[in-house]
Amino acid sequence: MQRIPVVIPLKEQEECISIFATKNIEIKKHLCSYRIIETNFDKTALTACSETALRDRLLSYLNYENAQLTLVLINEAIINQIVFDVYDLSPEDRRQVETQMGKPVGELPVIAEARDAYLASTTIESETVREFIQKLSITTFDEEKIHSVKDEFATLYQSNNDLDEFCIRHQLNPINVWYWFQESLVLPSGRAAEIALGFLADTCRTVLMEDEDGIIPLAGLPGESGLLDRLEHYYLNHGFTSAQFSQLDELLGRPINEYLEDYFFMNLSDLLNLFRYLPKTPFIWHLSSGPQQGFEAYIIIYKWNRDSLFKLKTRYLGKRVESLEFRQIQLADSKTAQAQNEKEKIRLQLQEIAEFTSKIDELIAEGYDPQLDGGVGKNIAPLQKKGLLRSEVLTAGQLDKYLKADW
């Protein structure tokens, strides 16, 4: 213990470190408020910005986020210099530390136009930070270097490639990266899809919570609009246009109806896989009768209970069967190839629904009684075992564990 270099900083130094560290925490908390997985979630990037095109909204938000994260890295560089002063390191000692640990990217040289643009467009309350940025060394880059950096923006924000890692890998000041990213107008598809998923999940949650029983079929039923129609209605009544609703296809990477049918539940589950050794925790579940899509519905865990099983049978499955049987009657006299294909499709769907209904009956007979306090794992395990979900949420080990849970 005696060999550990413990230095008591001056009160002024301690206060400065505390101020910059607190500011960084505030920035990170604020950025978390745009992510649906965070406890302080407030609104998504698509609702926070006001540009006409959704693509432009995302670019506007990412430019803002990059500016804020750049400020975090600048503050960290300032803290780093204060710590060097606390330990009274000589220039040679500092060089040795930076050689071994790497120089903070916030201290790296900047191009003059990027520095000036950043100072002009970013709210920086601390005069110390402004002076630090103004005193950064000025450098230039050839067009080939700039072009190569911009070419990699498409992969920005992917795993292990956030702004900090990107700057470290390229040894660039984040101010330069912020500036070039704005110029490039590149929208990383992975990040765009993640933000669009959060936007869609937030809306689905709202619509499901507003629904009487928290069950919404994907295909509309008599007296019950389908999910896609409800989503569009919600957006149009909350300041979005039909054109903007259609633009979600581009951000999601496929038509929204296809996304809701085949990808939403799986992607939401993956997004909410927050802890490596714990189960995924989707709060919206996709019930499915199988590949023929005889019956598909979204439910929300906050309204899911034993009574929901009875409502599924009487209100939803019953109406779906009636709708399909009525369509059978309409097609009875038609001999076209298209009609024959549709008849066969309906036959398979009705068969699938009958099997699905039988599994619901089994759950009721087995005493399935979901309770919100039981958590996702325990409540969803019986559904996954019966094959009632569009995609699996639990691993084999987790499924076995939660089927045996007695809390």
pLDDT digit string, tens, across residues 270-309 = 999 988 888 999 999 999 999 999 999 999 999 999 999 9
Over residues 125-129, the mean pLDDT reads 94
Q: What is the pLDDT of residue 355?
A: 98
Residue 8: pLDDT band (50, 70, 90) is confident
Task: Report yes or no: 405 and 369 within 8 Å, Cβ to Cβ.
Answer: no
Task: Report yes or no: 82 and 3 within 8 Å, Cβ to Cβ.
Answer: no
Residue 10: pLDDT band (50, 70, 90) is confident
CA–CA gap between residue 365 and residue 304 (Å, rounded)? 17
- The DSSP result for 217-269, as a single string, is ESS-BTTB--HHHHHHHHHHTTT--HHHHHHHHHHHTS-HHHHHHHTHHHHHH
Weakest-pLDDT range from 21-35, 92-106, 271-285, 336-350 = 92-106
Q: What is the pLDDT of residue 337?
A: 95
Over residues 208-229, the mean pLDDT reads 96
Q: What is the pLDDT of residue 3?
A: 65
Residue 2: pLDDT band (50, 70, 90) is low
Per the model's pLDDT, the better-predicted residue between 294 and 161 turns out to be 294
Over residues 149-160, the mean pLDDT reads 92
Q: What is the pLDDT of residue 151?
A: 96
Q: Which amino acid is at 87?
A: Y
Classify 297 as helix, strand or coil: strand
Weakest-pLDDT range from 110-119, 157-166, 281-290, 292-301 = 157-166
Q: What does pLDDT average to over the chain?
A: 94
Over residues 125-148, the mean pLDDT reads 96
- Cα-trace Rg, the chain: 27
| pLDDT of 7 strictly over 80 | no
Q: What is the pLDDT of residue 85?
A: 84
Q: Which amino acid is at 380?
A: I
| pLDDT of 89 strictly over 90 | no
Q: What is the pLDDT of residue 225?
A: 95
Over residues 178-191, the mean pLDDT reads 97
Q: What is the pLDDT of residue 87?
A: 83
Classify 36 as helix, strand or coil: coil
Predicted TM-score (pTM) of the model is 0.93
How open is the CA angle 257-263-269, to the nearest 5 degrees? 135
Question: What are the tokens at 102?
Answer: 């790497």
Helices 54-86 and 174-184, packing angle to 10 deg: 170
Q: Distances from the Cα of 325 to the Cαs of 42, 134, 220, in angstroms?
A: 45, 74, 15
| pLDDT of 23 strictly over 90 | yes
Compute, in degrees rounded to 10, the torsion defined by CA atoms 178, 182, 187, 192. Answer: 60
| pLDDT of 198 strictly over 80 | yes
| pLDDT of 159 strictly over 90 | no
Q: What percent of the chain has pLDDT over 70?
A: 99
Which of these, 228, 345, 207, lies nearest to 284 by C-alpha position?
Answer: 207
| pLDDT of 347 strictly over 80 | yes
Question: What are the tokens at 121?
Answer: 């467009």
Q: Distances from the Cα of 322 to the Cαs of 177, 225, 353, in angstroms?
A: 59, 16, 12
Compute, in degrees rounded to 10, the torsion defined by CA atoms 117, 119, 120, 121. Answer: 80
CA–CA gap between residue 187 and residue 134 (Å, rounded)? 29
Mention every residue, 6+ apart, whose C-beta is less than 8 A from residue 145.
Answer: none
Q: What is the pLDDT of residue 39?
A: 95
Mention every residue, 6+ apart, whose C-beta is less than 8 A from residue 11.
Answer: none
Over residues 162-171, the mean pLDDT reads 95
Q: What percent of the chain has pLDDT over 90?
A: 87
